[in-house]
Amino acid sequence: MGFSKTGRASGASLSLKTSNKIKRKQLYVEQKKTTGKARHEERHRRRREEAKDPELRRQRLEKNQPASIDKKRIWDDVDDDSLGAVVDVAQLKRRRMEEAEAAAAAEADPDAVIGGGVDKDDDVDSMLGSDEEEEEEEDDEERAEKMQRQRAQRQPSVAPSTTSTSLDITPDALATQFKYLFSEEPPAMPKILVTTAINATIHKEAQEITAILPNATYIRRSSHRYGHKYSVREIAKYAKNRGYTALLVVHEDLKRPSQLSVCHLNGEDAPPGPTLTYTIRNYHPGKAIPGHGNATNHYPELLLNGFQTPLGLLAAKSMHTLFPPKPELAGRQVLTLHNQRDYIFFRRHRYIFRDARPTEKNVQGADGKEMDGVKGIRAGLQEIGPRMTLKLRRVDKGLGRAGSEGEDALKWEWKAKMEKKRTRFNL
């Protein structure tokens, strides 16, 4: 490829209409300056207009929302709150309450319901009124289809990344299926045993994970050639007899943590289970994080964000039972489990509140308005670590795959076909 005989390049841009390299460079720089100057003037003009009329800024922010995959998330339009259903539990519960209220209102006043019974004083002949009844039935079907489409399209939240998970909306079917995990009794103080696979080399990483959990103990598994190789069943029996409430098994791959199994041992008379198995990605120890802080022995605050489906509530409740119910606020430590697109981001920080500097703006919400109650206050964060990303792979009834028996031994399992639709998530 070369230049034409007229001395011009084959490109379509204004900066490529000359064969002189220096001239093309000058044209490109001038074009870039002109474009940047126009954007600068437009931005300042918009800022002056929005300063006079704040309603313009609100309309612009509402219009300029990015079309992310999270906002395109689809839900199963079914009235089912079982473990594998992809439904918003809060929205499903709200819909059931509205239907129950409508049914109660219909029983109280049947004449006020649209499309109710036929009036006794109606003298219209049945043959003449048949067409009108068919039209009403078609209208009812169209109305039902319209309502079904509206329920399938979930309205986006104002700040979905900061929405905390409420365990009070747990479905009755899920609480009945895992009655020992979703018990109505006050939660007991957790006592956790952490161990690794046989012949493990990630003892430092396992000790760091143990330091995250209050009242946790790390015990190495025997790897001596003449020693007894204890199985997970034997370790769980040993731990349950000594008052432990959960057993965590950390597996490794290429000398890095690759899998985490959380086995709930329950009470003395209750059988153990369930067992939730996660894969670990992007594990970074605390010392590898720039500007990291040192942890203290205070009970941390727990934040569970983005768990909306029955499976998500099960994972949230499983993590919730590993920490004491009453955190120690004096330590100012917070542990965040943020679910986004079925990936659980694990972070641990220390926070501090300070006065905002004169050059800093007040905290603003997703709509661009200043939030009430936090004016003049800023929060500083220091990450403690470790940092990792979890993904739920299996939910077993008992102690893992080998310790679960019966037809319903496997409650849920991740499969590759679940990711064919990029807008459908399980948690």
3-class SS at 344? strand
Q: What is the pLDDT at residue 147?
A: 59
Query: Which of 383, 409, 384, 389 shows the shortest CA–CA distance to 398?
Result: 409
pLDDT tens figures, 188-227 = 889 999 999 988 899 999 999 999 999 999 998 877 888 8
Q: What is the mean pLDDT of residues 360-375?
A: 76
Q: What sign does the CA torsion over 324, 325, 330, 335 have? A: positive
Q: How confident is the model at residue 380 (pLDDT cuts 50, 70, 90)?
A: confident
- Pair of tokens at residue 122: 């109606």
Q: What is the pLDDT at residue 145?
A: 63
H or E stretch at 393: strand 387-396
Q: What is the pLDDT at residue 118?
A: 44
Tokens 């990291």: give the residue.
292
Q: What is the pLDDT at residue 15?
A: 55
For residue 67, give the amino acid letter: A
Q: Residues for the chain: how many in total?
A: 427
- Is it the case that residue 173 has pLDDT exceeding 60? yes
Q: What is the mean pLDDT of residues 118-124?
A: 45
- Is it the case that residue 153 has pLDDT exceeding 90? no
Q: Are 148 and 77 in contact (CB under 8 A)?
A: yes
- Pair of tokens at residue 308: 């909306």
pLDDT tens figures, 21-34 = 898 889 989 999 99
For residue 185, give the amino acid letter: E
Q: What is the mean pLDDT of residues 29-57?
A: 93
**Listed range (14-28, 96-110, 141-155) with the worst mean pLDDT:** 141-155
* Cis peptide leading into residue 274 (ω within 30°): yes
- Tell me how far apart the alpha carbons of residues 112 and 106 are, in angstroms, rounded to a whole number: 7
- Is it the case that residue 365 has pLDDT exceeding 60? yes
**Listed range (87-91, 141-145, 208-212, 236-240) with the worst mean pLDDT:** 141-145
Q: How confident is the model at residue 44 (pLDDT cuts 50, 70, 90)?
A: very high
- Tell me how far apart the alpha carbons of residues 237 and 243 are, in angstroms, rounded to a whole number: 10
Q: What is the mean pLDDT of residues 288-309?
A: 92
pLDDT tens figures, 301-312 = 999 999 999 999
